[in-house]
Amino acid sequence: MPVSPTKSQARKAVRALAKDYPDVTCALEFATPVQLLVATILSAQCTDKQVNIVTRTLFQEYPTAAEFAEVDLPQLEKAIKPTGFFRNKAKAIKACCQKLMELHGGEVPQDLESLVALPGVGRKTANVVLGTAFGIPSGVVVDTHVARITRRLGLTQEKDAVKIERELMELVPKKEWIDFSHRLIHHGRRICIARKPKCDECSMKRFCPRIGVATS
């Protein structure tokens, strides 16, 4: 059965990214699945670098779900303030960890349905935790970098993250879902940046149609 042009394009991207970033890992620092879950909630509208600065102290004070479940909200808000949207994030983290204590003995469940049922946990966060903490390919993490680069490559025309994820799950082999996301995120930070992508330095320049990239 012939491979569609879009699927062929996806395969080229998978190969190029694997060659460029063979040992890629999640940029968030964590020691346990609970810590990764908290860090991922904090990463919304915030850089991973800033989150890591905050969590180095935060996780010493609150190493497990039990401590986050009991924390006073104003105290938590103050600790995570540099990540932005700190009031909503503090509420989400406390409520999430209370549910972890109540329903899962303080441990992070290893299935998508249970994870997205937790307060403050959407599909993207669940995919990050399952893929990075447990090696479970539940889906493709779609952040701003992944969305931008896959549109530029012609792998999707969608703007909604869930729709982009569905398309990528059809195009990319399941065994590649976890690393593919990590590699795209690293590529988006280093090469395929939003305003002035370094196309001349990109290993995908031979086959990338550069959709939406302004030409000088």
CA dist 162 and 165 (Å) reads 5
Catalytic entry in 89, 94, 99, 124 = 124
pLDDT of residue 216: 53
* Catalytic residue flag (residue 196): no
Q: How high is the pLDDT of residue 14?
A: 98
pLDDT, mean over the chain: 96
CA gap 140, 210 in Å, rounded: 22
Task: Give 89-125 pLDDT, tens digit per residue.
Answer: 999 999 999 999 999 999 999 999 999 999 999 999 9
**CA distances in angstroms from 159 to 5, 41, 103, 149, 177, listed in the order given:** 21, 22, 35, 12, 19
Same domain, 174 and 195: yes
* Residue 115 and residue 121 in contact, taking contact as beta carbons nearer than 8 Å: yes
Q: Is 124 a catalytic residue?
A: yes
User: pTM for the full model?
Assistant: 0.92
Number of domains in the chain: 2
Main-chain phi, psi angles of 146, to 5 degrees: -60, -45
Distance of CA 102 to the CA centre of its chain: 26
Does one domain contain both 43 and 103?
yes
Residues 103 and 144 placed together within one structural domain of the fold: no
Structure tokens at 196: 């002035």
Range of the domain at 66: 33-134
Domain CATH for 81: 1.10.340.30
Alpha carbons within 13 A on the beta-carbon side of 175: 3
User: How would residue 214 be classed by pLDDT, with cut points 50, 70 and 90?
Assistant: confident
Residue 149 lies in a domain: yes
The catalytic position among 7, 143, 163, 179 is: 143
Does residue 152 lie within any of the structural domains?
Answer: yes
Q: Would you place residue 215 in the very low, low, confident or very high pLDDT band (cuts 50, 70, 90)? A: low
